[in-house]
Structures are given as C-alpha cells and as structure tokens.
Amino acid sequence: MGNAKDDKPGKMLTSMREAGSAIVVTGAGGGIGSGLVRRLIGDGWRVLAVDLNRDGLAKLQSERSVGARLDVFTLDVSRPGDVERTARQIDDQGIAVAGLVNAAGILQDVVPFMSLDIERQRQIWDVNYFGAFYCTKWFGNLMIKNGGGSIVNITSINELRVLPLHAYGPTKVAMGSLTTLTAGEFGAKSVRVNSVAPGFTLTPAMQEKIDSGKRDVSALKRATAMRRLVEIDEVASVVSFLMSDESSAVTGVSIPVDAGWLTTSHWMNFGDLLATGSEEKPGS
Ligand code: NAP
C-alpha cells in the first residue's frame, strides 16, 4: 500500500494510486457508473466495479481501454451481508481500497403521492440510501485501515431542490446527510467524503425516460442556464478531481454538476428571459 500513512493527512491518494490501491465504483454497469470507471482507469487507478447488472459489467470488461486494471463484482448493494462479504474478500486478496463511489441507484417515475407503491418506495430506499450506507460502512472501514481515502456519493439535484420524485428525492437528501455526517467523523482518519449532485445527465436510463415522454427535454434545456443537459464525462471529471490530491482539503460538500439548472430553473416565473438561445450549447 506504499507510504500512505506517512503522507500529509488528506493528501495520500497519489501515493496510494501508484502503489496499486483501488477504487470501488458501485452502479458501474450503468450509464454514469461506466463513465466513472473509464475515467478513473484513465487516471491510472485500479477499479473494482460493482453492479447487479451483469451485462453492463461484461460490456465494460470487453473494452480494450480498461485493460487489466478492472475487476468486476456482481453484488446487490442493498444486501448488507453480501457487501460485508465482498469487502472481506477484497481485503483478504490484499487489495488496498483507497476510494468508493456510490453510484448504484434506481431512478423513479413521477407518480402522484396517493398512488405510490409502498414496496417500490422501500426498494428505492434500500438501493439508493442503504446501499450507499452499507458500502460506506464496509469499504470506508478498509480505507480507515489503509490510512485514508476518498468517498463520493452520487446524489442528484434532488438533494438540493425538492422535485416530485417522492422516494428518489428523499433518498438523495439522506445521502447528502450521510456525506456530511461521515465527512465529520472520518476526517481525522484522512477519509474525505463528498457528494456530486448531477443534473439531468444524458445516460441510456435518462434517454429512455426522454423517449417515453417521462422527461421533457426541451423544457429541461430551456430551464437550464447553459441550455443543455449534462454529459456523463462532465460528472466523471468532477469525481476524478475528488479522487485526487487536487481536492485534498475538500470534504463534506456537495458539488452540483447541472449545467446551471439549480440556478435558473425557477426563472420561468419571470417571463421570457430564458427563451433565447435554447438550441445553442454554450460553454462546451
Ligand atoms: P443507470 O444506468 O440505471 O445506473 C444505475 C446502475 O445501478 C445500474 O447498472 C443498475 O443496475 C445498478 N443497480 C441498481 N440496483 C442495484 C443494486 N441493488 N446493487 C447494485 N447495483 C444496482 O442510471 P444512471 O443514469 O447512470 O444513474 C447513476 C446514478 O446517478 C444513480 O445513483 C442516479 O440516481 C444518479 N443520477 C443520475 C442522473 C441522470 O440524469 N441520469 C441525474 C442525477 C443523479 P440495473 O440496470 O440492473 O438496474
């Protein structure tokens, strides 16, 4: 694991990466998760990719660019015993864990409150919140043991603004609380914890919602400062920053990556200010 314990607190990721330590990415078979895996491997990290979706993991494994630095684990993050077993297995293999990205999640359709299916609500909580909680407990424990690390919770603009996604939204608010609580507790152990809060991001899962009319892409663009959706690699580059010593004093914060949706989405109440330039793509 190298000389991580000798490094300045919070500034050990470069030496851990060079010593072959790994980052665990959950939801790695999905749109954002796969993009994160590609980016972190490109940064020189070994990546342990976790997902329930075997096809998504197999697709990643088939990519030449990920090479030998990828290991995959088919794991249901909502099952605490399985998460604990996988963490022990990784530790027993002598792999030092330096980072965790909690990206596994279930997106939600808009349903009136009175029509919500209780089992579906529980399932969303089990994966989005408790999955992140269990992974933080077991993989965070390995980071503390290894001398430090970085945890990134992929939340959403739902962490920062109430939207009509009755289960999904509160799970993301709770993940934000998990971020600040664990950042406060783990800081003395050189483990930093932050949230990345993506706006509407062009993943296959989001594209499916757009194609089926569940999200109005023209309205989303009109409501966004930069008049466009977010690309997966724009989320990945912020995670890459948080998984580096460039962010060595950044902990306990939530960073929106939303092309300015939080800034301007409520401006619609003030007439035509946002009407111009909605088809252009400034800033790219
Ligand atoms: P996605 O493609 O559906 O990715 C989510 C991945 O998590 C899928 O591969 C899914 O597998 C996996 N997963 C679901 N339940 C799991 C479980 N119990 N254990 C392990 N893996 C599980 O969606 P995405 O758009 O990339 O979203 C990724 C993350 O970003 C989510 O946390 C989401 O809330 C967040 N986010 C997305 C957007 C957006 O606009 N796309 C915006 C803000 C935040 P299956 O395919 O088998 O379900």
- With a 6 Å cutoff on the Cβ, whether 35 touches ligand 1 is no
Q: Does residue 169 lie in a domain region?
A: yes
34 lines ligand 1 (CB under 6 A): no
Which tens digits make up the pLDDT trace of 88-104?
A: 999 999 999 999 999 99
Which residues, in sequence order, are CB contacts of 210 under 8 Å at separation 6+? 217
Per-residue confidence band for 67, with pLDDT thresholds at 50, 70 and 90: confident
Number of domains observed in the structure of the chain: 1
- The verdict on residue 12 lying in a domain is no
C-alpha to C-alpha distance for 149 and 130, rounded to whole angstroms: 21
In a domain, 214, yes or no: no
Does residue 146 fall inside a structural domain? yes
Domain residues for the domain of 113 are 18-201+231-261
- Provide the whole-model pTM: 0.94
Q: Which residues of 75-99 are buried (b: 16+ CB within 10 A; e: fewer)?
A: bebbbeebbeebbeebbeeebbbbb
SS3 assignment for 79-125: CHHHHHHHHHHHHHCCCCEEEEEECCCCCCCCCCHHHCCHHHHHHHH
CA of 14 to the centre of ligand 1 (A): 28
67 in a structural domain: yes
Q: How do residues 164-191 score in pLDDT, each as one tens digit?
A: 999 999 999 999 999 999 999 999 999 9
3 part of a folded domain? no
Q: Is the minimum distance from the CB of 100 to ligand 1 under 6 angstroms?
A: no
Out of 126, 168, 195, 203, mutate this one to test ligand 1's pocket (max ligand atoms within 8 Å of CB): namely 203
How far is 38 from 49, CA to CA, in rounded Å?
11
- Angle of helix 31-42 relative to helix 204-211, nearest 10 degrees, comes to 150
Q: Is the CB of 210 under 6 A from ligand 1?
A: no
Residue 274 lies in a domain: no
CA 29 – CA 76 distance, rounded (Å):
12
Listed in sequence order, the residues at least 6 apart from 275 whose beta carbon sits closer than 8 Å to its beta carbon are 222
d(CA 49, CA 66): 11
Which range has the worst mean pLDDT, 16-20, 192-196, 205-209, 273-277? 273-277
The answer to whether residues 194 and 250 touch, using CB atoms and an 8 Å cutoff, is yes
- Of 129, 168, 186, 200, the catalytic one is 168
Q: Is residue 122 assigned to a domain?
A: yes
Report, as an integer, the average pLDDT of 254-264. Answer: 97
The radius of gyration of the chain from alpha carbons, rounded to an integer in Å, stands at: 19
What average pLDDT does range 241-250 have in this prediction? 98
Instruction: Specify the CATH number for the domain of residue 115.
Output: 3.40.50.720
Mutate to test the pocket of ligand 1, among 32, 76, 101, 128 (most ligand atoms within 8 A of CB): 32
Least confident interval from 108-117, 230-239, 268-277: 268-277
